[in-house]
Structure 1
Amino acid sequence: MVLAATGDRLPQVVYWGAPLPLDEDLETLHRGHELDVTGGMLDENPDLSLCPEAVRTFPGQPGLILRDGDGTPLLPKFCYASDEQSEEGLSLTYADEANGLILIFEFATDPSTRIITAKTRLEANRAVHLHWLAAPVLPAPQQSDEMIDFAGRWTGEFQTNRTAWSAGMRYRENRTGRTGHEHFPGLLIPLTGCTNTKGEAYGFHYGWSGGHKMIAEELPDGRRQIQFGHAARMETQAAKSFESATLYVTYSHKGLNGCAVSFQRHLRDRIVTWPQPDRPRPVHYNCWEAVYFDHKLDVLKDIADRAADLGAERFVLDDGWFGQRDDDTRSLSDWEVDPRKYPEGLHPLIDHVHGLGMTFGIWFEPEMINEDSDIFRTRPDWVFGAEDQTLGRQQKALNMGLPEVRDFIYDRMAAILAAHPIDYVKWDHNRVLPMPDADQTRGSYALIDRLRADFPHVEIESCASGGGRIDFGIMKRTQRVWLSDSNDALERLRIQHDAALFLPIAVTGSHVGPRRCHTSGRIFDISFRAWVAAQRHMGFEMDPRELDERETAVLREVTSWWKHNRSWMLGADILRLDSADPAVMAEQQMTREGDKFVVFAGKAATSDQIAPRPLRLTALQPDARYRITLMNRGTAPALSRGMPALKDGPVEVSGAWLMHHGLTLPWNYPDTMWVVEGQRL
C-alpha cells in the first residue's frame, strides 16, 4: 500500500495490491496516479484522501461529519503536522488549527497474516458532537464488476450479497446496537474473473460489536471509495476525543481464499487470546436442546454420562439454572442458583461432570434483564432505553454505560465463577437494542475485560441468538462463537462455508443436533450431522438418550476421527473449492505447510447430471505426489454401483492432477458428505 500527499493536504492511497519492487520510485507512482481533466470537471480532481473533506470540494461522501458544541456544522480542513514511521507501521497527524481539531491515522502491518490494520482518531480542544467518523478511507479497484457483502437472519447467518458496481453509493448500516445477523461488517471486492481459488480480491472487516456503517461509492470520475465506521450518531454525547474501531484489510492474488486465509490466520493467531493455548480444543456438549428450562439433576447426570461416553470433554449447563427461570419471561439478571432445581447448589452436578473427565461450563446473558426479576423491581432505572419500548424475547437491556450496572453484573458473575470450578462461559445476547449507543458496546467490552483479568482461566463463547455478535472486536475478548442457533446440518453446511471467508476452524462452534432439527423440522442421518459438525470446533447439542445403537456408533467414530485430527486441523486454513456442480459445497482444510489436508464435499441438493463432476483441489504443489483416501467410503449407498478408484482404496497422484482434473467421487444421495484425507508424500 502506497500513500502519497500533495503539499500539506491529507494523504491518499495511490496504490494498493500486489507487491511492488522495493526500488519502485514512489514519486513517479504519485504522479502516475493523477487523473486527466476534461470538460465538466474542476481544474484539479479533489483527493480521495484517508478522510475525504467536503471543504476541498470532494464530490462524494465525506469521511468526517462534525458539529460544534452549540450545534453549528463544522467543515474541517486538515493540514500536515507530523508523522511517525517504523518497520511495523505508520502514524500520521494532521491539524485544523482554526477549528481546534487534530486527526490521526494509524496503520500497522503483519507480514505473516498479510493484514493491514487501520484506525482514525479525532481530538478537539473542546467538546464537539460527532455524526460520522470513518476509519481510514481506501480506494476500491476499478477492475471489479461487483462487491460481496453479507446479510442474514436468525438461523440464516452469513448470506452473501453480490451487488454490481454502478455510479452512486451502496450504503449499509446496522443500527441494532450489536454486530447483527443482518449486516456482518465485512466486504470482499473480487476483480473480474475472480473465484474462490484464483484471481485478485480485496477484503475489509470492521472490528466493532455495536453496529457499523459501510459506504461503497463510485464517483462521477470513476474512482471508488470504501468507508467503514460506527453506525452514524452512535456517539450520543459531546466529547473531546473519538476513534474508529480497527479496520482490517487485505489483498489477495489467490482468489477469495487469499483474503479468507488472511482473516482466519489473523483472528486465530493475533486477536484471540487463549486461556490455555497448549490445551486441545475439547469436544463440547451443550444441554440446551435436550432439556431447555426443565433442569433435573438426575436427568442431567444421565445425559452427562452419555455425552462423555460419546466422546464429549466439556459439559455446558445452559439457560435455566438461576432465579426462578422456568421460561424466557423471568429472572434475567437474578444470577443466583435456583434452590428449587439445585437444593445443594451446582456442586453435585459439577462434581459428577468432573468425575467423568469433562470440564464444566455455564450460560449467562449478562447484559439483559426481565421485568419479572428481583433486580428490575429494585432498579428499573438501570434499563437501557424507554420505559415503553418493545420487548425482545420478553426482555430489555441493561444500561452498560453505567458503572454501577457493570459493577453489579460483575459481582454476581464473579460470585458464581469464584465459588465453582467453571472454565467456560456461554455469553448470550438475545435481543437487539432499542437504539445504537457506543457507550453500550464500550461498557460490555469493559465488563468482559474485567472478568477476563480476574478469571483468566475461563474461556468465553460469544453468542447472540446464534451469530448476532461475531466480529474481531468481540473476539479480542472471547475464544469461540456460536455461529448459528440452527443445528440443521444442511443450513449449517452453507453458513459455515460462507463464514469461513473470515472465521477459522478453532473459534467456530458446530454441534451435532437432534435427529429432527428443532428450528427447521428436517430430519438428517447421523452421519451427515456428525461430519458437518466435524468441519469446525465439534460438539453435541441434542438429547443423547434419543440415539439408537447405529447412531451411537457413528457419532463415536466421527468424534474419534475429529479428536485424532484436531491437533493439526484447528490450525489449518479453510480453502473454499470451486465446485463445478452447484449442488456440492466443498472445502479443503490444509496445514500452512501444505503437507496434510482434508476435503469435505457436502451434497446440498440433487445434481442436474447423473455422475458427480470432478472436484478440483487447490494450493497444492504441482510436482508433488499425494496419497488420497476416501475416509467414509463404506457409507456409499447401494445405488453407487461402480468402483471409482477412491472407492477401492487410497490412490497416489500428483498435485497437478488433483488441481487440474480433480477428485472423482462416488455417487451419493443429497444431504450427505464425502470426507477425503490427503497426505503429501
Structure 2
Amino acid sequence: MTKTYRLDDGRQTLVLASENDRLPQVVYWGGSLPSGENLGALCAAHQIDVTGGMLDENPAVSLCPEAARSFQGQAGLMLSASDGRPLLPEFRLHSVEEGDALRFVCQDAGNGLTLTFEFAVDAQTRIITCQTKLDATQPVRLHWLAAPVMPAPQLAMDMIDVSGRWCGEFQLNRTPWSAGIRTRDNRTGSTGHEHFPGLMVPVTGATNTQGECYGFHYGWSGGHTMIAEELQDGRRQVQWGHAKDSEIAAATRFETAPLYLTYSDTGLNGCAVSFQRHLRERIVTWPKPDTPRPVHYNCWEAVYFDHKWPVLKDIAERAAHLGAERFVLDDGWFGLRDDDTSSLGDWIIDARKYPDGLTPLIDHVHSLGMTFGLWFEPEMISENSDVYRAHPDWALGPQDQILGRQQKVLNMARPQVRDFLYDRISAILRDNPIDYIKWDHNRVLPTPDAAQTRGTYALLDRLRADFPLVEIESCASGGGRIDFGIMARTQRVWLSDSNDALERLRIQHDAALFLPSAVTGSHVGPRHCHTSGRTLDITFRAWVAAQRHMGFEMDPRELDTRETEVLMRVTQWWKDNRAWMRTADILRLDSADPAVIAEQQQDPAGARFVVFAGKAATSAQISPRPLRLTALDPAAMYEITLANRDELAGLSRGTTALKERDLVLSGKYLMNHGVTLPWSFPERMWVVEGTRL
C-alpha cells in the first residue's frame, strides 16, 4: 500500500510517498502541480525499471536511505551503540501529522530508535524548511545524520557549490554530475571561508534570469558535510548534515540544522530571491526594525591597535562629516592589547589607552550624531592573558595545538566558560551605551565539535535576550561564518576582509545568491588597499559599497577634496535610496560582456529598480554590449536615468542617449535588447535608475 502527501506554496510542489509503511521518499519536487493531480498515478510513474545486474526491487532514495534495506549509496544515518557496536536500523512509518506542514514519525522498535522528519512551507518566500531528528531509548554514538534527503533533477548537467578563501569568499564551482559522490566536507568547526553551506542545481540551459533551478542551504554555523551522489541506476541524491563524527558524546537525542530548499522557474535569481527574502523577513530579528540602516564607520584600517584619543576624536569627526551614522571601535581597546599576541579573553578596558573608560569617546561620538559600536572576539583566548593563565583547561583541544593568529579557542560547550564571557560582555554593555557589537572569530577550531556551535548559540541567545536593542555583526576574519544559523542571532555580516572594491564586486555578486543587501556590510576601503595592494578610484570604491549596507573603513585623513566630495555625494545617494533598497530583491544579470558584473536591485512590487554595472576588466570589444534587464513588466513603460553621468571619461566621445537625457522605454525592450551604456574605463561602475510609469 502506498500513502502519499503533498505540500504547495504556489510556485513549487513537493510530493512524498511511503510504500508499505517504509520511510517516506520524495517522488516529485518541482513546479506547481494541478490540485487534482492523481498522486497514486504519480508514484507509479516515478518507479524506474529493473534489469540485469540490479536487485529485484530498487531500494528507495528515502528521506534517510537505509543501509539495512540494501541501499547501495550513501546511507542517511550511521550510528553505533555506546559500546561501539554498529547499528543498522530499519524504520517503519509510525504516524503522520498533515496540514500546512508535514511531520513524519518513524520507529525502529528493535533498536529503540525514533526518526522524525519535519517539513514546512512558506507561501510568501517560497522556501521549504525541513529537519531530521533522532531519539534513542539508550545513549548512542552518532557518526552521520542527514537532514531530509532530496533528489536532484535528472536534466541537470552541473551543480554549483561554493568555496573560497580569506579575502576571496563565495567562489562558485561548477561540477558535472557523474557516477559517484561529490563531497564537501568542512572540518574547520565553523561555516568557513572555504565551505559556505549552499548548493544550486540548475537544469540544463538555466542562467541567472531564466530556466529551472533548485537551491539548498544548510543553516548551521559549525562543521558540515554536503554529499551529492549519482547512483549506478542514474538516480541522484543530495544530503546535508553536521560534519561526520562532530557529535563527540553519546546521547539519546540528535537533530540536524534546518535545511532550506527552494525551486525556481526563473533561473538562479528565483532561488536567490527566495533565500534573500526568507533570511531578511523570517530568520533575522531586527532590534530596531523601523530604524534606517545606518552608514557605518569602522576605525580598524585607520588605526589598527594604536588607539590614541586625539586621533580617534579627529577620525570620528571626519567620519561624521562624510555621512557616517555609526562609529565602531575595533580591536585594541582591552587588556594589554597592542598587537594580536595577547589579552583575548580578558575583556577589561585598557586603562593605559582609556584612563576614563570608553565614556569620553562614546560621548564624543554621540555628540556628532553617531551611535557607538564595539569589537569583541568572545570565543577566542590568548595564551598571554590573565584568563588563560588562570584557566588553561578552558581552551578547546590539546595544549600543543597549532595556534591561529596567536590564539586558541575557548571551549564554548562548558557552561562556566559561557557564564564568564556573559559576565564580562554584559558588564561592558550595561556600563556603556553601546548599540552594536562586531563579533569576530579569527581562527578555525582544532577539531569539528557540534557542541562548540551550540554553546556559541547559547551565549548569543542569552545576550540577545538581555540586550535586545544591541545589533550584532557576524565577522569571522571576514566571511568565515555566514549562514542562516548565525543570522538567526545576528543582523549583519562582514562579507570579506578584502576592502578591494574590485574583489568585493565579484564577492557581493555571488553572495547575492543567498544574502540580501540589508545584512551585507560593504565598506569604502583605503585608496591603496591593504589586502590586495591595488589602488582604485574613489568613484568605484564608493559605488561598490553602495550596493549593500554601506560603510567606510579607511583613514578619512587620506581623502583629498575630490575624494571627499565624491564620497559624500554617493553616501547621500545611498541614504536617499536605502529605505526601498533595504527590501529590494538582488537580481544577477546575464551580461553579454564577461568583463561586466551587473545586478538589478528591484523593489518587490516592481515599481523601481537600480542597475549596478561594474566593469571588472577591459572588454574584448571596444563598445559596451547592451545589458539586458530582467523581471520587468513587458507591457509597462519605464523611465531610466544614468545616476552618475558626471563620471563620464573624456574618451567617451559618442552620442549615447543616456549621457545626455533620461529615456522612456518598454519593459519588453529593456529585457529583450537591453540598456546601451556609455564607454568607460575598467574598474568603474555605471548606475542606472529606473521607475515604472
TM over 0.5: yes
* Shift of residue 249, structure 1, vs aligned partner: 0.4
Query: Do residues 500 (structure 1) and 508 (structure 2) align?
Result: no
Question: Take 1:100 and 1:508, find their aligned partners in 2: how far apart are those partners?
Answer: 45
User: Which of 637, 640, 646 is matched with 1:634 structurally?
Assistant: 646
| Secondary structure in 2 matching 1:217 | strand
User: Which of 484, 489, 501 is matched with 2:496 structurally?
Assistant: 484
User: Which of 252, 258, 268 is matched with 1:246 structurally?
Assistant: 258
Query: Do residues 211 (structure 1) and 223 (structure 2) align?
Result: yes
Match of residue 664 from structure 2: 652
Match of residue 566 from structure 1: 578
**Residues 469-521 of structure 1: CA distance to partner in whole angstroms, max 9, x if unpaired?**
00000000000000000000000000000000000000000000000000001
Match of residue 41 from structure 2: 28
* Shift of residue 38, structure 1, vs aligned partner: 1.0
Match of residue 145 from structure 1: 157
* Shift of residue 416, structure 1, vs aligned partner: 0.2
| Secondary structure in 2 matching 1:384 | coil
| Secondary structure in 1 matching 2:143 | strand
Question: Take 1:98 and 1:548, find their aligned partners in 2: how far apart are those partners?
Answer: 76
Match of residue 339 from structure 1: 351
Question: Take 1:565 and 1:480, find their aligned partners in 2: how far apart are those partners?
Answer: 19
Match of residue 8 from structure 2: none
Query: Do residues 455 (structure 1) and 467 (structure 2) align?
Result: yes
Query: Do residues 472 (structure 1) and 484 (structure 2) align?
Result: yes
How well do the aligned residues superpose, as a CA RMSD in angstroms?
0.4
Task: Report the AA paired with residue 662 of structure 1.
Answer: G
| Secondary structure in 2 matching 1:406 | helix
Map 1:172-191 to 2 at 5 A. Answer: 172-191=184-203
Map 1:285-324 to 2 at 5 A. Answer: 285-324=297-336
Match of residue 51 from structure 1: 64
* Shift of residue 93, structure 1, vs aligned partner: 0.2
Match of residue 519 from structure 1: 531
Match of residue 193 from structure 1: 205
Match of residue 626 from structure 2: 614
Question: Take 2:595 and 2:478, find their aligned partners in 1: how far apart are those partners?
Answer: 26
Question: Take 2:165 and 2:60, find their aligned partners in 1: how far apart are those partners?
Answer: 38
Question: Take 2:271 and 2:585, find their aligned partners in 1: how far apart are those partners?
Answer: 11
Match of residue 16 from structure 1: 29
Question: Take 1:392 and 1:644, find their aligned partners in 2: how far apart are those partners?
Answer: 53
* Shift of residue 617, structure 1, vs aligned partner: 0.1
Q: How many residues align?
A: 680
Question: Take 2:47 and 2:620, find their aligned partners in 1: how far apart are those partners?
Answer: 51
* Shift of residue 634, structure 1, vs aligned partner: 1.3
**Residues 511-553 of structure 1: CA distance to partner in whole angstroms, max 9, x if unpaired?**
0000000000100000000000000000000000000000000
Query: Do residues 592 (structure 1) and 600 (structure 2) align?
Result: no
Map 1:376-387 to 2 at 5 A. Answer: 376-387=388-399
**Residues 439-471 of structure 1: CA distance to partner in whole angstroms, max 9, x if unpaired?**
100000000000000000100000000000000
* Shift of residue 59, structure 1, vs aligned partner: 1.2
* Shift of residue 125, structure 1, vs aligned partner: 0.3
Task: Report the AA paired with residue 296 of structure 1.
Answer: K
Task: Report the AA paired with residue 115 of structure 2.
Answer: L
* Shift of residue 305, structure 1, vs aligned partner: 0.3
Question: Take 2:382 and 2:55, find their aligned partners in 1: how far apart are those partners?
Answer: 59
Question: Take 1:21 and 1:189, find their aligned partners in 2: how far apart are those partners?
Answer: 24
Question: Take 2:205 and 2:17, find their aligned partners in 1: how far apart are those partners?
Answer: 30
TM-score (norm 2): 0.98
**Residues 567-621 of structure 1: CA distance to partner in whole angstroms, max 9, x if unpaired?**
0001000000000000000000000000000000000000000000000000000
Match of residue 117 from structure 2: 105
| Secondary structure in 2 matching 1:202 | strand
Query: Do residues 533 (structure 1) and 545 (structure 2) align?
Result: yes
Match of residue 37 from structure 1: 50
* Shift of residue 247, structure 1, vs aligned partner: 0.2
| Secondary structure in 1 matching 2:169 | strand
Question: Take 1:414 and 1:91, find their aligned partners in 2: how far apart are those partners?
Answer: 39
Match of residue 183 from structure 2: 171
* Shift of residue 39, structure 1, vs aligned partner: 1.1
Question: Take 1:382 and 1:55, find their aligned partners in 2: how far apart are those partners?
Answer: 42
Unpaired runs of at least 5, structure 1: none
Question: Take 1:68 and 1:518, find their aligned partners in 2: how far apart are those partners?
Answer: 53
User: Which of 50, 75, 79 is matched with 2:88 structurally?
Assistant: 75
User: Which of 398, 406, 412 is matched with 1:394 structurally?
Assistant: 406
* Shift of residue 372, structure 1, vs aligned partner: 0.4
**Residues 166-214 of structure 1: CA distance to partner in whole angstroms, max 9, x if unpaired?**
0011011100000000011000000000000000000000000011100
* Shift of residue 162, structure 1, vs aligned partner: 0.3
Question: Take 1:215 and 1:438, find their aligned partners in 2: how far apart are those partners?
Answer: 19
* Shift of residue 360, structure 1, vs aligned partner: 0.2
Match of residue 418 from structure 2: 406
Task: Report the AA paired with residue 97 of structure 2.
Answer: E
* Shift of residue 622, structure 1, vs aligned partner: 0.4
Question: Take 2:119 and 2:665, find their aligned partners in 1: how far apart are those partners?
Answer: 44
Question: Take 2:98 and 2:331, find their aligned partners in 1: how far apart are those partners?
Answer: 50
| Secondary structure in 2 matching 1:240 | strand
* Shift of residue 69, structure 1, vs aligned partner: 1.1
